[in-house]
């Protein structure tokens, strides 16, 4: 049976995976679709009340109104803002895909749709031998690649798409984030060139927003998504006009 959900990766860190994933979750929530969210591994968790917390997972939980256990939404919380495999090694933590899969199954069973956000890029190492790409394969979810609009994005996005397909991962499409109000030649041609060369559809172009906190930004981007191709795909999945 085809899984209802997406795994969200990025061409690199800081391209806006969390904000984009949260915006998709908020869009689904606003249409009454029960959505489970997951950030399997967080590097750079913060201490709150003496306990590690994933701020990314908190935003996803708010955006989706997911009421699942925090331990299922964010199974691995690592302190150091490093590659997950390094951060885990420093803390003596072993990242086990079996634990992530069990948490995912509990979330999937309780929700109509799933959104899973990766850490870093597709080949970010989770263990000495396994990467984010291996996790995508283990969860059997189609991939959305979040990318940026500026110089260098064509190369980075094509590499990510090519790598995913070589590993047997289904790429559903690309979302370009932080698109500027005054686009130059690079930004104007990037999305079309990426789509043409990769064969992957552009599912959305999200604007660059300044002066908003994360929740306000997610609300605004969820509204933007209503006019993007991804919205049609999601609503068609649930037979919503």
Number of domains in the chain: 1
CA dist 234 and 232 (Å) reads 6
Backbone CA torsion sign across 241, 20, 74, 30: negative
The CATH number covering residue 233 comes to 3.40.50.300
**What is the percent of the chain where pLDDT is above 70?**
98
Instruction: Give residue 54's pLDDT.
Output: 96
Given the residues 3, 39, 61, 129, select the one marked as catalytic: 39
Residues of the domain holding 121: 5-237
Residue 5 has pLDDT above 50, yes or no: yes
Average predicted confidence (pLDDT) for the chain: 95
Verify whether residue 39 is a known catalytic residue.
yes
Q: What is the pLDDT of residue 2?
A: 58
Model pTM?
Answer: 0.96
Kindly give the interhelix angle for 132-139 and 153-166, rounded to the nearest 10 degrees: 50
- Residue 11, pLDDT score: 96
CB atoms inside a 10 Å sphere around CB 93: 15
pLDDT, residue 13, reads: 85
Is pLDDT of 82 > 80?
A: yes
Q: In this predicted model, what pLDDT tens digit does every residue of 143-176 receive, in sequence order?
A: 999 999 999 999 999 999 999 999 999 999 999 9
Predicted pLDDT at 65: 97
Q: Is the pLDDT of residue 197 over 70?
A: yes
Residue 239 confidence class, pLDDT cut points 50, 70, 90: confident
pLDDT at 1: 43
pLDDT band at residue 240 under the 50/70/90 scheme: confident
pLDDT digits (tens, 9 = 90+) for 200-236: 999 999 999 988 999 999 999 999 999 999 999 999 8
CB < 8 Å & 24+ apart, contacts of 53-58:
53/77, 56/18, 56/117
Which strands form 113-121's sheet, in the order they lie side by side?
35-38, 113-121, 5-10, 143-147, 171-179, 202-207
């Amino acid at each position: 049976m085809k899984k209802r959900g997406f795994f969200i990766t990025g061409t690199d860190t800081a391209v806006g995976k969390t904000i984009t994933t949260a915006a998709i979750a908020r869009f689904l929530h606003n249409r009454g679709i029960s959505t489970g969210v997951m950030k399997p591994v967080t590097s750079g968790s913060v201490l709150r009340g003496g306990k590690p917390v994933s701020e990314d997972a908190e935003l996803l939980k708010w955006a989706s109104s997911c009421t699942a256990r925090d331990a299922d939404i964010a199974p691995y919380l690592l302190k150091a803002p490093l590659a997950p495999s390094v951060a885990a090694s420093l803390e003596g933590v072993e990242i086990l895909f079996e634990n992530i899969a069990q948490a995912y199954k509990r979330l999937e069973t309780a929700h109509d749709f799933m959104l899973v956000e990766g850490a870093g890029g597709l080949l970010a190492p989770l263990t000495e031998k396994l990467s984010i790409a291996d996790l995508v394969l283990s969860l059997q979810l189609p991939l959305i690649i979040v990318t940026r609009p500026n110089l260098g994005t064509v190369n980075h996005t094509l590499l990510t798409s090519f790598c995913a397909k070589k590993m047997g991962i289904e790429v559903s499409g690309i979302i370009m984030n932080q698109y500027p109000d005054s686009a130059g030649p690079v930004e104007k041609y990037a999305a079309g060139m990426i789509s043409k060369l990769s064969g992957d559809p552009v599912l959305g172009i999200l604007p660059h927003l300044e002066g908003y906190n994360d929740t306000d930004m997610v609300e605004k981007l969820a509204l933007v998504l209503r006019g993007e191709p991804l919205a049609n795909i999601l609503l068609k999945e649930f037979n919503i006009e």
